[in-house]
Structure 1
Amino acid sequence: MNERDICRRISEILGIDYDCTRGIDELLKILEYEINEYKKSLEEQTIFMEAQLEELSRSYEEISTLLEISEIFGGFEFPMNLREKLEKVIPLLKKVVKFKDYIVRVEDLSIGNMSHEEVEREIEEREKTVLIEPGESKKFSNLLFVPIIGNRYYGYMCFSGKEEGIVFTASDRRITEVTSRYIANALDRIDFLQKEIERQRLEEQMEIARRIQSELLPRELPRTGFIDITACSRPAVQVGGDYYDVFASDGKVLAVMGDVAGKSVPAALLMSAVRSYLKVLSTSHSDLEDLVNHLNSILCEDLSNDRFVTMVFLEIFQNGTLNLVNAGHNPVYFLHDGEIVKLEASAIPIGIAEWNYRRHTIQLKPNTFIVVYTDGITEARNTLGEEYGYERLEETLREYNGDSAEDLLSKLKKSVEEFSKDVPQHDDMTIMVLKYKGQQEVE
């Protein structure tokens, strides 16, 4: 093959139209240039492939590390030994992020060789990731701060210094943020379980309190020949502040109802105190006014300004004489032969201030019903937000034509329950019904 044939062959390989009569030297220069360009392209592709392989290798390492971290925090343990888990996680992170110094601070727990005081002086806003690059801080050459936030703020992770490279990368930020979420999720689970355990414990304690309080109310009401008495009470929550009691002695019955301001445990505790005081005072004070005034003096000393008790005291004798003290309580109703008499409160609630409580005396006719209740009855609401109110209560009383205290109580309960069905009870509800049968019924 002569030079001209070689020239034509090279031209065909290069894909160019070259005049071989001009000689082969210029064509060889073109060939040399193309070969150098191809070599350069291969080198660039090699570098690119090596970078891709390095990135894939790092991604694999990151994924593998996150899987291990996920296994460490994914397994549920109660109680969780957070320090032990963090001490397993930090070496795994160090292999990938390649930091020199670190601190992990979760509430009162701190691990690492950095000072949390120095970190917290540097980072003012601690609920977002902060990346400090070289030259941006006098204290740290570089720093990666990652908060640990789940249902609430738990703490943070902070890393400083790089064993390889100068700055923390987007990849470093990504893997540390994912790790912080694993930690936060584990802490959320523990937090939820602790609250659930506490809730169950509180429910158990409230159930015990409910049983104890129910035992404070009379198990059986006194039976006398001249009066029938029946009562019921239902707290809005497991324990409440409504109270009633009946004390019977020769020829006399003292019926008491109270409604402590507030609900739940504080009201129940105050109700218990009122009951204890009244148990003692009822045995040592035969005069109703003395009893009420003495009870008020005691409670004024014991109660804070926002605590008080509305109370009704009914002292009924065999001959039908009734002494009544209504200390800020709901009106008392008297029902006889379809006619209603309503007696309003004439004094302030017990426990607010010193007061001279006076009795109101009336003469009961035989077969007179007396209805005493707390405001949970009149303030019961229906699905439209309307209150049961005094008008409905009075209408129920007027429509009653029976002759039993127990039967009248059932009618009142049914009326309120039908009115407020499908609506959660918002206040304690207590009713007491008394029927004065007349002196001729005395045994």
Structure 2
Amino acid sequence: MATLETAFLHDQLEERKRRLQAAIAVAPPNAGLAGLLHEVDSALARMAKGSYGLCQECHEPVEQDRLLADPLVRYCLDHLTVPERAALQRDLDLASEVQRNLLPQAGLRTGGWETSYHYAPVGPVSGDYCDLIPSDGQLFFVLGDVSGKGVAASMLMTQLHALFRSLTGMALPLGQMVTRANRVFCESALAGQYATLVCGQAKPTGEVEIHNAGHWPAIVVGRDRVLRIESTGLPLGMFCESEFSATRLQLEVGDTLFLYTDGLSEARNEGDEYGVDRVMTLVRQQAARPPAELIAACLDELRAFAGGGPRLDDLTLLAIRRRS
């Protein structure tokens, strides 16, 4: 485990110990509090010996995202007791439900724009982030991918959702919004945790402003053009004072903006990666279709490419089309 993550977990355990000791000092005798204090002391002792984070059954590393969520975890997923497995499944089911409730309205139409998206975690929860927010006749959109997998990534995804939802209500210029979101995210995320994303504002006039922070190229397709909007900044969370420059476009009626995560671009079959060039070719071939049909065609193509092989990463697709 990385040194900074170990230091973070050590601080978390020490803070829990202080709080437990304070509670025990003023409360009547409580076996539950005493038991928790014993668990925290045991974890700190294992950390001092260098055995913290190793499964007490098989001595292999415990999953990092589980340790970050609960520093008292002692067993890897392969060696949970039946009650622990049941409790973990309940927690994952709840987290999955929370994530589903954070997704934007399906088939949203607003300000001359129509949208469709597909959100498919590879497990119970996802580190992908997708949102659509109508505001004063404009459409704010964002699609991102948090580093890592599992519960830890899903928690950061939830944080990003709250950040951008709060900032859109402040009517800030888009560049300032991304800068503020990056600063807050950077200050709260652990070292090595970051998020790539594309966000933008679409006006009823067809004018679109896009900020691509280290994400895969956005694609704009129309009847006689295909544009590839490359990244113009670093991922959120890498540096607190990063700058993010904008790309401004004029979309005509019938033009579509297509965004995706690495569940599409890095999908693999037995010998090949799908890649951005295939994404561009596919979207160009389906340019005349409305958003829902475009996404359905992408999913059909992806299934054919994978040949029935397992999906290895979260998959999110977002299509935004100017309809008037």
| TM category, shorter | 0.7 to 0.9
Equivalent residue runs for 1:41-60 within 5 Å? none
Q: Which runs of 5+ in 1 are unaligned?
A: 1-150, 154-191
Mapped partners of 2:287, 2:161: distance in 1: 34
2:162 maps to which residue? Answer: 276
2:180 to 294, 300, 310: 294
1:378 maps to which residue? Answer: 265
Mapped partners of 1:429, 1:152: distance in 2: 33
2:135 maps to which residue? Answer: 249
Which residue identity does 1:314 align to in structure 2? G
1:347 to 233, 237, 245: 233
Q: 1:287-327 CA deviation, whole Å, 9 max, x = no partner?
A: 10110111111111111221001111121111111111000
1:223 to 109, 131, 144: 109
Deviation at residue 395 of structure 1 after TM alignment: 2.1
SS at match of 2:166: helix
Mapped partners of 1:269, 1:433: distance in 2: 25
Deviation at residue 401 of structure 1 after TM alignment: 5.2
Q: Which runs of 5+ in 2 are unaligned?
A: 1-56, 60-77
Equivalent residue runs for 1:11-26 within 5 Å? none
Relative distance call for 1:313 and 1:152 in structure 2 (3 A) is closer
Equivalent residue runs for 1:19-418 within 5 Å? 195-220=81-106, 222-337=108-223, 339-353=225-239, 354-382=241-269, 384-400=270-286, 402-418=288-304
Native 8 Å contact 2:106 2:116 kept in 1: no
Native 8 Å contact 1:364 1:436 kept in 2: yes
Relative distance call for 1:338 and 1:237 in structure 2 (3 A) is farther
Mapped partners of 1:362, 1:204: distance in 2: 45
Relative distance call for 1:199 and 1:331 in structure 2 (3 A) is same
Mapped partners of 1:250, 1:341: distance in 2: 28
Relative distance call for 1:355 and 1:197 in structure 2 (3 A) is same
Deviation at residue 249 of structure 1 after TM alignment: 2.0
Native 8 Å contact 1:338 1:398 kept in 2: no
Mapped partners of 1:193, 1:407: distance in 2: 44
Native 8 Å contact 1:240 1:263 kept in 2: yes
Mapped partners of 1:152, 1:309: distance in 2: 33
Mapped partners of 1:312, 1:193: distance in 2: 39
Deviation at residue 391 of structure 1 after TM alignment: 2.4
Relative distance call for 1:398 and 1:206 in structure 2 (3 A) is same
SS at match of 1:284: coil
Deviation at residue 376 of structure 1 after TM alignment: 1.3
Q: What is the Cα-based RMSD across aligned positions, in Å?
A: 2.0
Native 8 Å contact 2:218 2:259 kept in 1: yes
1:420 to 306, 310, 315: 306
Name which of structure 1's ranges 279-288 and 384-393 shifts more when overlaid on structure 2. Answer: 384-393
Q: Give the alignment's TM-score, normalised by structure 1.
A: 0.54
Mapped partners of 2:137, 2:183: distance in 1: 28
Deviation at residue 331 of structure 1 after TM alignment: 0.1
Q: 1:128-157 CA deviation, whole Å, 9 max, x = no partner?
A: xxxxxxxxxxxxxxxxxxxxxxx879xxxx
Mapped partners of 1:432, 1:407: distance in 2: 12
Mapped partners of 1:210, 1:302: distance in 2: 23
Mapped partners of 2:103, 2:169: distance in 1: 18
Work out which of the two has the higher radius of gyration on C-alpha atoms and give 1 or 2.
1
Which residue identity does 1:423 align to in structure 2? G
Q: Percent identity?
A: 28
Mapped partners of 2:280, 2:210: distance in 1: 20
Mapped partners of 1:411, 1:427: distance in 2: 19
Deviation at residue 236 of structure 1 after TM alignment: 1.3
Relative distance call for 1:285 and 1:197 in structure 2 (3 A) is same
Relative distance call for 1:398 and 1:360 in structure 2 (3 A) is closer
Which residue identity does 2:129 align to in structure 1? Y
Native 8 Å contact 1:325 1:359 kept in 2: yes
SS at match of 1:248: strand
Q: 1:371-391 CA deviation, whole Å, 9 max, x = no partner?
A: 001111111111x14211122
Mapped partners of 1:197, 1:393: distance in 2: 44
Mapped partners of 2:316, 2:58: distance in 1: 42
Mapped partners of 2:314, 2:224: distance in 1: 28
Q: Give the alignment's TM-score, normalised by structure 2.
A: 0.72
Deviation at residue 225 of structure 1 after TM alignment: 4.6
Which residue identity does 2:242 align to in structure 1? W
